[in-house]
Structure 1
Amino acid sequence: MVTAIILMQVDPKRLNELADQLAGLEGVSECYSVGGSYDLVAIIRVARNEDLAGLVTERIAPLEGIEHTETLLAFKAHSRHDLESMFSLGM
């Protein structure tokens, strides 16, 4: 499984609409509105790097109102929970 975190600066007028659009995309497991330097944070969980590339470039980047993104690729999960088994259902 590939996990990525996408930090986004967005047009404030479109924040709620974008959050809902992002949350509805396959591969986006969570989307948070946040305070600080970024407005939205999307947690991505996909099977392969190619799936991540397609999601970011073909589904997320074209969304109107996203002004800047920074994508962080997770190397290793440090958690008390077995995240792999939680998110691999149905994959």
Structure 2
Amino acid sequence: MVTSIILINAERDKVNEVAEHLAGIDGITEAYSVSGQYDIIAIARVPAAEDLAHLVTHRLQSIHAITKTETLLAFKAYSRHDLESMFEVGG
């Protein structure tokens, strides 16, 4: 499983529309409208790197209101749940 964080800029009046569209795309598990340098953060989880390449270079490029993307690959997930289970005694 390949997990990536996709940072997205969109046309100002289309941010909500783009986020809703992203949420309906296979492979995008979450889409957040955010403040700061980017307008939307999408979390993608796909079986293989080739699937991520197709998602970013074909599916996202077909959304004309997206003006810029930056894709970050996740190497390992850390969460509060994972840390608590590491220190669980007798678990």
Q: Is the TM-score greater than 0.5? A: yes
1:35-55 deviations in Å (ceiling 9; x for gaps): 000000000000100110111
- Bigger Cα Rg: 2
TM-score w.r.t. structure 2 length?
0.85
Instruction: State the 1:81 CA deviation.
Output: 4.2
Structure 2 residue 20 is matched with structure 1 residue 14:
no
* Structure 2 unmatched runs, 5+: 83-91
Report the TM-score when normalising by structure 1: 0.85
Partner of 1:4: 4
Could you tell me which amino acid in structure 2 is paired with residue 32 of structure 1? Y
1:2-28: CA deviation from partner (whole Å, max 9, x where unpaired): 000000111011111101110000000
Name the counterpart of 1:68.
68
| Aligned length in residues | 82
Question: What is the percentage of aligned positions where both structures have the same residue?
Answer: 56
The residue type paired with residue 60 of structure 1 is L
